[in-house]
Structure 1
């Protein structure tokens, strides 16, 4: 009897109306330097009518590695096909490859080697965008072992990672099929939080994120209500898995900055009064429960200002801020306390009518460093004293209310 070794990695491809992008996607799989005997492909055609299923079957017939093609009725989103593929996977690791994207050369070999060398459960490979923007802040250097609290990987929550399959099975992890957007963020954040270490391959492009010319990429679709569903799910996951404190506050930055904030930018100015009212209803419980001064200070001043106005329901002041940003104007810095304190003069700064607290405009060191005359060493001492004074003077509920 021939004993078939367990593959190192299962590449899971969910495909819907993926032609002609699928051609280059599969070619990138064939070009991998990982021995074909060490990998398998499970491709799920989610009810395509453009020849996607037929091309997958042609590929399966000629490919050097084992390829399983599953054809099913359309499920309406990426979660279903990914879950079907995950249920069939046998590799030590799984990698979720979108059918309109492509792998970089040597990607799988490098990521598997990184996971094996460092005994980590998740590996992020450097992503580059083709006709679309890709995340950038987490690719500063290759890191053998880190976690979601010690790095910027919370801003890379797409599903295109190498995951140790044993981790996923041990925790019965699957993509939430009730979410129509942001399902990958929920899945990946949970994996980060459960993982025994995360690796980052930053010195080699492992994944090319392709912008479709037809504009059908899933992240561009979906109404604002779906975005709030996504934000709510991610915020609830973080709250359930991470105790209250600095670590939780650091992670909460991600849903507020990436998912909530855009709903109150230029889009908000074009919304009808009815939509604006509905957005405020949807965001209120999220702000009431998890928006506080510690989350706020981790944001840039203009982001903090926008979300503060949302939290206190002063959205009539938002247009001035949004238009200021859209015009790419620079706020006038105001230095006080011998250069240790820098305020950025965005709209409504020290306006009695607006009544926005000064601390909303107070620049943290990462922004203040760009201001001539700022004294960082002395400012750090001032900021620590100011925060201690704020905490002593207000009960916990009032501190949160002040941040709101």
Structure 2
């Protein structure tokens, strides 16, 4: 409360029709009048509403699993009590799933008083997958899932995780799904920032974030063989879950916390940090994670401070402009011993620097081949 009022209003306003909906509301030990509000809604709502009231479980996984166990529809959608649905959201998502035959549908998300994921909303896609799009960067539970998919694989939220449980569930659904749809041209979900800032994902100590990263990395490794496709997915837990632990807050951490973070990160880096993952990152991301992997507590604070300051790293162009190195701290510092390759900008990052010439050896081979074809008249 009071966000629940707007949430329920958005449910009642859905155009899919009350005869096609069921609402299962789980009051997880609320003490602010939520239970009474839900009971009042159930008494007047045009669609069937089941209200389940239980003692507080300590996290979102338990209540979601309770609701999922009661669901009877072809699809399920998980709606958080402080968020709200966009107009026509359920009608559009169900129509998309029925038309495309896909198992998961993502509806465009907008933030209200908070940020929301953006990179996956470039265009509406009737059928895609986790390898062909940016959907790996939105792993919240607020998606439409075909219930048969969840039932067939016995999928439930991991109740041992206090945060990141939705990332685990959603990634598994992406990997098991017969296609994923993306609705990018209509806002289906409003992610609402609470005025008090009390979001589950922002609370708890750092160990919970490492638990989340560990679980997601393990899931990806179990479902995807080692190689480029696994590396592509591993970018997500490394950059979204693990890397922030070595961001600005790291500078405020005490020595014991810094040491503990590096200890927790070491087995994850040993198991999953590969050259394929590193190549997909920006230089400042790659550099920090390289130092974490090497347990370089002596170098890491200076790099984090440089990134926090917003300073622009100087660019060094070599090989006639075909290589761009970004001179973050300790670049070519013999005593530090960080390899040059850590500072090498990817073509995408290098394009921002005047004088960069995309190509290299591969480009030379292609030009030579074109010259031969012209000479031969083919």
Q: What's the TM-score, normalizing by structure 2? A: 0.95
Match of residue 399 from structure 1: none
* 1:35 to 1:380, Cα distance in 2 relative to 1, 3 A: farther
In 1, distance between residues paired with 2:297 and 2:17? 57
In 1, distance between residues paired with 2:364 and 2:315? 18
Q: Secondary structure in 2 aligned to 1:316?
A: coil
> Cα distance, 1:183 vs. partner?
0.2
> Cα distance, 1:315 vs. partner?
2.2
Long gaps (5+) in structure 1: 1-18, 385-404
Residue number among 98, 105, 115 corresponding to 1:133 in the alignment: 115
Residue number among 166, 176, 184 corresponding to 1:202 in the alignment: 184
Structure 2 residue 177 is the aligned partner of structure 1 residue 174: no
In 2, distance between residues paired with 1:181 and 1:259? 10
* 1:198 to 1:76, Cα distance in 2 relative to 1, 3 A: same
Match of residue 81 from structure 2: 99
* 1:248 to 1:275, Cα distance in 2 relative to 1, 3 A: same
Structure 2 residue 241 is the aligned partner of structure 1 residue 259: yes
Structure 2 residue 58 is the aligned partner of structure 1 residue 76: yes
Q: Which runs of 4+ in 1 moved over 6 A?
A: none
Residue number among 271, 277, 288 corresponding to 2:253 in the alignment: 271
In 1, distance between residues paired with 2:195 and 2:219? 34
Aligned residues: 366
Task: Output one character per residue of 1:274-294: Cα deviation in whole Å (capped at 9) or x when no partner.
Answer: 111111111111100110111
> 2:82, 2:192 within 8 Å by CA — same for their partners in 1?
yes
Residue number among 144, 147, 151 corresponding to 1:162 in the alignment: 144
Long gaps (5+) in structure 2: 367-378
Match of residue 12 from structure 2: 30
In 1, distance between residues paired with 2:235 and 2:328? 21
> Cα distance, 1:382 vs. partner?
8.1
> Cα distance, 1:380 vs. partner?
5.6
> 1:231, 1:260 within 8 Å by CA — same for their partners in 2?
yes
In 2, distance between residues paired with 1:300 and 1:192? 25
In 1, distance between residues paired with 2:232 and 2:48? 42
> 2:247, 2:308 within 8 Å by CA — same for their partners in 1?
no
> Cα distance, 1:327 vs. partner?
1.6
> Cα distance, 1:305 vs. partner?
0.3
Q: What's the TM-score, normalizing by structure 1? A: 0.89
In 2, distance between residues paired with 1:377 and 1:355? 28
